[in-house]
């Protein structure tokens, strides 16, 4: 398997999809709500996923595809060559802000992450990695993350997890908020993961993410030394919803051990 | 007084200051901490404020200047022509992310806001307003905000105010978090205000802001119909720290009345 060739193919279709989305802003955006009112879906979201499926099937009909919009076949294992795709991560930002939404893609072979991509669509900024070769932000190599004490960390976390919730002891999360230098929340998991791998945030925590939210990002994480796991400290599931933390290696264990108490 | 002339002057110096800051990224950023470790200050911050003071004093020596870094004269009233300046709002973003920080400036005559500016320095995006003439995002007029129910609102709020704190009843803030569609936190008050005036957020709340954080933004708010007050519903102080909320007019009163309980 020629990873370089697949990497070039992936970049080509990601940038083309980004351009299609930017162009589509000249048209009205039709929005419908899924069961969860927080989860807006747009036509563009679906069209972008179909675009990726068509391109990948033409590139290699044996490759399997797992996408947020479910336009690909359902998959039950990561055997073989698998693309995990979120055509638009941060749908509410997309609808409301017309910025801060990402295309994110991971390419796995027999469950091993080989290529990872996060494109900030409106900025045309690409974070990406090739397994064992490193990670880049556009044309610049991403450096391995420098250690820092938790007191100096800025972490991405949504307000829902600081309020009482069914997933974790929020009292512990409040302690974490008081411990760190600052918190941020951007409304796009892939954006927050891209910020962690590039040192713009030092950690990002979520109690409920799907494989397509994290697939690409976990591959980039590995190349810069960021640690990405679920809240038990194990690899997050790539076939089902799971909890998630990605962090600078110097604070990953400390956050898990002292501040996360799952219910 | 020719407001158009002052507006042109203000834009010239804001864009020039923005360019100087972007250029300065080629050099190392020296960081020192103020009393509050959360409040990082950089040399560039101070140099930018001095740049504004020099330019304004050359433009009109009678104009007074209130700036975050305190390089101007202290002022005790808003009599006469007063510039309220934050050379870099979002200092921690500046240091860590190299993006998401703003220059923000308000120009007041006898306490009345005449000209307001928020420049996203790295994007070179300018949000601005001229009293009574309207507001713009770069070359596009900003529309008056459309009403929406609180359930559909996305609001900017820092995690500190959802955790127990000395300023407000955090239990009420938790109710607000559960009521709205989503929350965001960007680490720059001026950025969050710019997002509210342009409909990218529907409200932004903070328990402690300074005049330079909000001076420019409140002037833009007026032109798009956003309501900006302190948490008692009165105009926020422009001479001292105060609480702050800026919101879409359809939800401003509802948030204040049902979800804010000051201690």
User: What's the angle, vertex CA B150, arms to CA B228 and CA B130, rounded to 5?
Assistant: 30
Residue of A nearest to B151 (CA): A37
Q: Is B138 exposed, middle or buried (0-12, 13-18, 19+ CB in 10 A)?
A: exposed
Structure tokens at A17: 């999809």
Interhelix angle B189-197/B211-224, nearest 10 degrees: 0
Q: Is the pLDDT of residue B260 over 80?
A: yes
What is the mean predicted confidence (pLDDT) over A151-156?
Answer: 97
Pick the closest to residue B127 from B186, B196, B185 (CA basis).
Answer: B196
Q: Of B97, B151, B154, which has the smallest distance from its Cβ to A92's Cβ?
A: B154
Model confidence pLDDT, tens digit, residues B104-154: 999 999 999 999 999 999 999 999 999 999 999 998 999 999 999 999 999
Work out the angle between the directed axes of helices B170-179 and B252-259 (0-180°, nearest 10).
Answer: 140
Enumerate residues 6+ apart whose C-beta is below 8 A from B113. B106, B107, B131, B215, B218, B219, B222
Q: Judge whether B244 and B236 are in contact, CB under 8 Å.
A: yes
Say how far apart CA A164 and CA B126 lie, in whole Å: 39
Q: From B38, which residue of chain A is nearest by alpha-carbon distance? A: A181
- Between the CA of residue A63 and those of A58, A67, A113, A238, B152, what are the distances in Å? 10, 13, 14, 16, 39
Predicted interface score ipTM higher than 0.90: yes
Residue contact B181–A37, C-beta within 8 A: yes
Residue B33 clears pLDDT 60, i.e. is over it: no
Round the average pLDDT of chain A to a whole number and report it. 92
Chain A residues within an 8 Å CB radius of B185 = 159, 183-185
Instruction: State whether the Cα torsion A166-A172-A177-A181 is positive or negative.
Output: negative
User: What residues have CB less than 8 Å from B9, skipping those under 6 apart?
Assistant: B59
What angle (nearest 5°) sits at the alpha carbon of residue B157, between those of residues A120 and B17? 60
Contact residues on chain A for B160, CB-CB shorter than 8 A: 177, 183
Task: Tell me the residues of A at the B interface, defined by beta carbons under 8 Å apart.
Answer: 37-38, 92, 96-99, 151, 154, 157-160, 162-164, 174, 177-178, 181-187, 195, 199-200
Q: How confident is the model at residue A73 (pLDDT cuts 50, 70, 90)?
A: confident
Residue B28 has pLDDT above 70, yes or no: no
Query: For the structural domain made of B3-141, what CATH number should be given?
Result: 3.30.540.10
Which has more pLDDT, B218 or A94? B218
> DSSP string spanning A97-113?
HS-S-EEEEEEEETTEE
Nearest CB partner across the interface for B183, out of A37, A158, A199 = A158
Which among B159, B162, B182 has the least Cβ separation from residue A187? B182
Domain ranges across chain B: 3-141, 150-259
- Report how far residue A77's alpha carbon sits from residue A114's, in angstroms, rounded to the nearest whole number: 16
User: H helices of chain A, where?
Assistant: 3-24, 43-59, 91-97, 170-179, 189-197, 211-224, 252-259
Note whether B99 contacts A37, CB cutoff 8 Å: no
- CB burial string B102-135: b at 16+ within 10 A, e below: bbbbbbbbeeebbbbbbbbbbeebbbbbbbeeeb
| pLDDT value of position B256 | 98
Please give the distance of CA A24 from its chain centroid, rounded to a whole number: 23
**pLDDT tens across A25-71, in order?**
655 444 444 444 334 456 888 899 999 999 999 999 999 999 987 77
Q: What is B107-164 written as a DSSP string?
A: EEETTEEEEEEEEETTTTEEEEEETTTEEEETTEEPPPPPP--GGG-EEEE-GGGTS-
Query: N- to C-terminal Cα distance for chain A?
Result: 43
Rounded Cα–Cα distance for residues B230 and B197 (Å):
17
Q: Could you tell me which chain B residue has the CA closest to the CA of A91?
A: B182
Q: Any known ligand binding at A88?
A: yes
Residue A191, min C-alpha distance to chain B (Å)? 13
Q: CATH number of A150-259: 2.30.110.10, 3.40.190.80, 3.40.50.920, 3.40.30.10?
A: 3.40.190.80
- Contact call for residues B217 and B198 (beta carbons, < 8 A): no
Residues of chain B that touch chain A, judged by Cβ-Cβ distance less than 8 Å: 37-38, 92, 96-99, 151, 154, 157-160, 162-164, 174, 177-178, 181-187, 195, 199-201
By the 8 A CB rule, do A14 and A119 touch?
Answer: yes
Q: Nearest chain B residue to A165 by CA: give it.
A: B178
**B177 → closest Cβ in A163, A174, A200:** A163
Provide the 10 A C-beta neighbour count for residue B15.
15
Per-residue 3-state assignment (H helix, E strand, C coil) for B3-15: HHHHHHHHHHHHH
Q: Which of A99, A159, A199 lies at the smallest CB-CB distance from B159? A: A159
Q: B99: which chain A residues are within 8 Å (Cβ-Cβ)?
A: 200
pLDDT at B212 over 70: yes
């Amino acid at each position: 398997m020629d990873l370089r060739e697949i990497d070039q193919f992936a970049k080509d279709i990601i940038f083309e999809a980004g351009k299609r989305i930017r162009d589509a802003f000249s048209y009205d955006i039709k929005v419908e709500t899924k069961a969860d009112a927080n989860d807006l879906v747009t036509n563009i979201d679906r069209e972008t996923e179909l675009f990726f499926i068509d391109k990948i099937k033409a590139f290699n009909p044996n490759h399997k595809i797992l996408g947020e919009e479910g336009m690909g076949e359902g998959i039950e294992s990561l055997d073989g060559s698998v693309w995990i795709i979120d055509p638009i991560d941060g749908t509410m930002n997309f609808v409301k802000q017309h910025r801060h939404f990402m295309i994110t893609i991971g390419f796995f072979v027999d469950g091993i992450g080989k290529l990872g991509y996060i494109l900030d669509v409106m900025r045309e900024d690409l974070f990406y990695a090739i397994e064992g070769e490193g990670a880049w932000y556009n044309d610049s190599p991403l450096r391995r993350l420098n250690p820092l004490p938790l007191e100096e960390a800025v972490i991405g976390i949504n307000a829902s997890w600081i309020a009482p919730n069914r997933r974790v002891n929020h009292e512990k999360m409040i302690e974490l908020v008081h411990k760190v230098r600052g918190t941020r929340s951007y409304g796009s998991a892939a954006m927050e993961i891209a910020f962690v791998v590039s040192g713009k945030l030092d950690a990002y925590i979520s109690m409920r993410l799907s494989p397509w939210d994290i697939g690409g990002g976990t591959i980039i994480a590995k190349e810069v030394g960021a640690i990405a796991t679920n809240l038990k400290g194990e690899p997050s599931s790539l076939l089902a919803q799971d909890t998630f933390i990605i962090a600078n290696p110097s604070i990953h264990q400390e956050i898990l051990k002292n501040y996360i108490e799952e219910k």
